[in-house]
């Protein structure tokens, strides 16, 4: 089922089918830019080019480069200086939504939370056990 939407690039209306995020005209322009970037990167001397260098030489936007890397069209395994911003801190990453630093920080926070929760549960168990023991002695 198609949905009528505004193209985020040019503002024209287009039928959104879930495949493309932009209208057909802008999709064609993006594909032409992708071909230019890919030709540039395929040359041996350009494979390690930074995002800034690619933007300077080809005229493509950083946003489009990030989109292509995120979707897997440009693979960081082949072009090591490519990536897209981490959703949390903005540092370049090549997989997922978060960079390694943010993932490690999140895991550390979860481990601390789980340890604190286990500690609270252990205290509650020991307090309830002590309470029952005290109560039996009084009887």
pLDDT digits (tens, 9 = 90+) for 24-36: 999 999 999 999 9
Q: How far is CA 17 from CA 22, 23, 58, 59, 83, in A?
A: 10, 11, 30, 29, 27
Give the confidence band of 133 by pLDDT, cuts at 50, 70, 90.
very low
pLDDT confidence of residue 77 = 84
Report the share of the chain in percent with pLDDT over 70: 91
pLDDT digits (tens, 9 = 90+) for 28-73: 999 999 999 999 999 999 989 999 999 999 999 999 999 999 988 9
- For residues 91-114, one letter each, b for 16 or more C-beta atoms within 10 angstroms of the residue's C-beta and e for the rest, the string is ebbeeeebbeebbeeeeeeeeeee
The whole model's pTM is what?
0.70
Q: Which residue in 33, 10, 8, 31 sits closest to 21, CA to CA?
A: 8
């Amino acid at each position: 089922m198609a949905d009528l939407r505004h193209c985020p690039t040019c503002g024209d209306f287009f039928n959104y089918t879930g495949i493309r995020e932009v209208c057909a005209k802008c999709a064609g322009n993006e594909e032409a830019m992708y071909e230019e970037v890919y030709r540039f990167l395929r040359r041996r001397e350009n494979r390690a080019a930074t995002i800034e260098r690619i933007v300077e030489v080809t005229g493509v936007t950083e946003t489009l480069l990030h989109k292509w890397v995120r979707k897997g069209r440009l693979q960081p395994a082949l072009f090591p200086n490519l990536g897209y911003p981490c959703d949390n801190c903005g540092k370049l990453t090549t997989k997922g939504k978060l960079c390694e630093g943010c993932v490690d920080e999140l895991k550390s926070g979860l481990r601390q939370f789980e340890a604190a929760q286990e500690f609270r549960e252990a205290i509650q168990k020991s307090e309830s056990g002590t309470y029952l023991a005290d109560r039996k002695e009084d009887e």
